[in-house]
């Protein structure tokens, strides 16, 4: 698994604990268009990346919804309006 990249995981159980090291900061390159973005070392508000982003969505409670913050431990679909490098 790569820092800053999101992954779909199919689990046989409703809850599963994944262990590892906490990230303090990571930088990742993103291409223009839709990208799945994963857990970062810190929470980020949409305003921190608004120059690069058209839309941010997360999947919860059986559907997609718009997100205003990017929280640790979650995955998001983000539509980037240009290629960029972001340090979280």
pLDDT per position as a tens digit, 42-76: 777 788 888 999 999 998 888 999 998 888 778 89
- pTM here is 0.77
* Statement: residue 23 has pLDDT above 70: no
CA atoms of 58 and 65, how far apart (whole Å): 6
Helix (H, G, I), strand (E, B) or coil at 72: coil
Mean pLDDT over each residue of the chain, to the nearest integer: 84
**What is the predicted pLDDT for the residue at 18?**
73
Residues in the chain: 88
Question: What is the residue extent of each domain of the chain?
Answer: 34-83
Q: Contact at 8 Å (CB) between 81 and 32?
A: yes
Residue 8: predicted pLDDT: 76
84: pLDDT strictly greater than 70:
yes
Number of Cβ atoms within 10 Å of the Cβ of 80: 19
């Amino acid at each position: 698994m790569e820092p800053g990249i999101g992954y779909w995981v199919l689990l046989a159980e409703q809850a599963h604990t994944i262990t590892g090291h906490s990230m303090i900061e990571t930088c990742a390159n993103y291409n223009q268009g839709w990208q799945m973005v994963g857990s970062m070392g810190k929470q980020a508000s949409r305003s921190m990346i608004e120059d690069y982003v058209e839309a941010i969505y997360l999947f919860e409670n059986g559907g997609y919804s718009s997100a205003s913050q990017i929280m640790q431990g979650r995955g998001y679909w983000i539509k980037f309006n240009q290629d960029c490098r972001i340090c979280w």
